[in-house]
Structure 1
């Protein structure tokens, strides 16, 4: 059964290999794509897929859409060091969410002031890259198809 992973933010799709972090760039966490929000000052980050919000941190969350597979959305690179600054959670870990539902509101100023990358990797955990079809590099709007599984 095919699953569509939507873009959680509006921006420009870039290959995971261009993410300035080797863990993501080498797909060590899993395959996927990334989105550069450009000059956006604030982002409403939405659920890319329906499922259970199994992990929620200010800078990252995982939604399990299958018992054996989840989708990681990581807001920026090394943004864990911001200790939540600029992030407002709109959901709670453990809850069921629908694709497009608001999860985090992100004020990017804190990340930019700390000179952190604001690129957003979207990774399918426990997936083989051969099973994925990725959106082409270029502009994308929140809710548009970013990754297709199967």
Structure 2
């Protein structure tokens, strides 16, 4: 079982609260989302593993059980061309859950006309493989968002 942790602090809104139909309807995979605190910060690794893919606005961490977890910082933030995001770890690195991966400013993302909602998705997972999925309430960075079996 993999515990998937919140990469950012904020208010859990669930996938239904994501202003993007592909993500909101779990077409990429099941998971949840966090509307982050509007302050500069660092998004963290949701699981321990290998930083499989890294873009300024998104990253995937692959754990020892073969679970790939996508963290997408904001919605449609690829259009920002990396502006406002600072990768902190090289792609391919082994990282511990909770380690900062990308520096970013959710308020600046919002000011640029994009939603800063942070999506956390279990890639290629069956919805039944997730349990205790957070759908609402406040969450601290590093708190459990869901488990994946």
Which 4+ stretches in 1 moved above 3 angstroms? none
1:145 aligns with 2:141: no
TM-score by length of 1: 0.94
Give aligned pairs, total: 148
| Number of the residue aligned with 1:93 | 91
Point out where structure 1 has 5 or more consecutive residues left out of the alignment.
Answer: none
| Number of the residue aligned with 1:119 | 117
CA RMSD of superposed structures (Å) = 1.2
Report deviation, 1:111: 1.5
Contact kept? 1:85, 1:110, Cα under 8 Å: no
- Residues of 2 paired with 1:136 and 1:26: CA distance? 14
- Residues of 1 paired with 2:74 and 2:16: CA distance? 15
- Residues of 2 paired with 1:101 and 1:122: CA distance? 16
| Number of the residue aligned with 1:16 | 15
Report deviation, 1:114: 1.8
Point out where structure 2 has 5 or more consecutive residues left out of the alignment.
Answer: none
